[in-house]
Amino acid sequence: MTPKQRYLFDLTGYIHLKNVLNDEELKKTQDAVERCVQTPQDELPPGISYSGGGYSNGFSFDKSLEALTLHPKTWPIVKELTDNKPRFNRGSLLAKGPEHDQVIGKLHCAREDCGWQTRRYDVKDGQIYCNDFVVFFYFADVHPGDGGLVVLPGSHKANFERPEGIFFPDPEDPPDELHPALVNVTARAGDAIVLSELLTHGVLIWKPKDRYRRFIILRYTTQFFQDARAHRVPFPPEVMERLSPETIELVQPASYTHIKDIVKSFAVEEFRVSQYGSGEQIWFEAEAFDERDSEDVYKLGTAEGALEPTEGAFGDIVTNAGGQGWLLYRFDISAADGKAGDWRFIARVINPSNHSDWLWVLGDDGDEIPTEAPALVRPDHIILEENVPDWTWLRTGDFGEDGGTVNKLQDGENVMMIWTRQSSNQVQYDVFCWSSDLEYEPTNEDYENANSGDYGC
């Protein structure tokens, strides 16, 4: 979570993330929802059932809907709230219109439904821990006055029982004005809402006569938590056999000591995105590496006793402390609405004496990530072979030529590895940037002003 997201979630019990889905994702999911709605009930895929505008296990109707369970813009939040021990255990699709929600859906929360002792919300060492929450993805706009989701901000930490009828004395005849303590959350198509199940919430009467509420409810718990349904696996076999290996792993229960592979595979979680020039950029700090070859080869700024960082670094710096070695990063260009194609690698570095390193990108020109020190390949992989002042954004690889800085990235997740080819303390990395605009020249201000990933929270 970003500091802003963390503050708002702790304060209110939910966060509204705007424009989470890009245009392509939104179109695919909207088309899938429409196909589901148009499918006769007796022809729905096995394991999906319909009742009152809702499709139980509807997330499994189409791969575009299933992919939302691990969406790169909500997945880091899911991991943080579960302390990197997530489990997905419910995915219902709702397509409700004028014929539905004509009475108020009663206010409720997990504390009232399941018992105060069954759910947890805690904060320790600056991290939020929540063992039962939902993520709503919206496929249609909700305007002020439409109705729909209503929440009682802050009630996830309430210490007293909610008095009966305090907000809706007569649910059959609700007041025209909403109680000032309540908030009607009006999300737009492509938005997402993350909500603790301890938060008191409900549904207001849906007023539009020509528009439907269309959204999906994805529910997450910790992997060692068992809910009241007492199902070890929450989905029937006919649903499970349609799911990807990643989703199947996410669904599985596990010990509190186990770390799932899907948690390990998304490395760069704190990043920034932007659309400068004629393309997209994704930025991340050099210390956000996923793996390194030895604790003795690379060190982080003052935290692990490397060379004293030069004043002016954005965060910790990464430097090699002698010998050949590597740093590996995984990053997802879809977080920046980027698509497959040529992207340029740019690094903010101290590099006073043209000490070059080597960059490999999985899949570029058929490349695989090296498993041992690679042979010197010039110019395909060489980066940073330049004489430049301290803290320069270096975008060339071989004395003014591209070298290994321009690579073909694939849709979604990509893997990059930087090798240092000789003993030196001269190269210190601060921030990395990938740009789909190959002519883009970054500045410090560009990085500072890039979106930190809160998506309009």
Mean pLDDT of the chain: 84
Q: Which of 357, 389, 395, 361 is nearest to 373 (CA)?
A: 357
pLDDT at 322: 45
Q: What is the pLDDT of residues 145-157, one digit of tens each?
A: 998 999 999 999 9
**Fold matches, 3-260 and 271-449:** yes
Q: What is the pLDDT of residues 79-114, one digit of tens each?
A: 999 999 999 999 999 998 777 666 677 888 888 777
pTM above 0.75, yes or no: no
At the topology level, CATH places domain 3-260 in Jelly Rolls (2.60.120)
Residue 375 has pLDDT above 60, yes or no: yes
pLDDT at 264: 72
Q: How confident is the model at residue 365 (pLDDT cuts 50, 70, 90)?
A: low
Residue range 188-210: mean pLDDT, rounded: 93
Residue 51 has pLDDT above 60, yes or no: yes
- Its CATH class, for the domain covering 271-449, is mainly beta
Q: What is the pLDDT of residues 133-183, one digit of tens each?
A: 999 999 999 999 998 999 999 999 998 988 888 888 777 777 778 899 999
Task: Name the burial class of residue 68, with classes exposed (0-12), middle (13-18) and buried (19+) by CB atoms within 10 angstroms of its CB.
Answer: buried
Domain boundaries, the chain: 3-260, 271-449
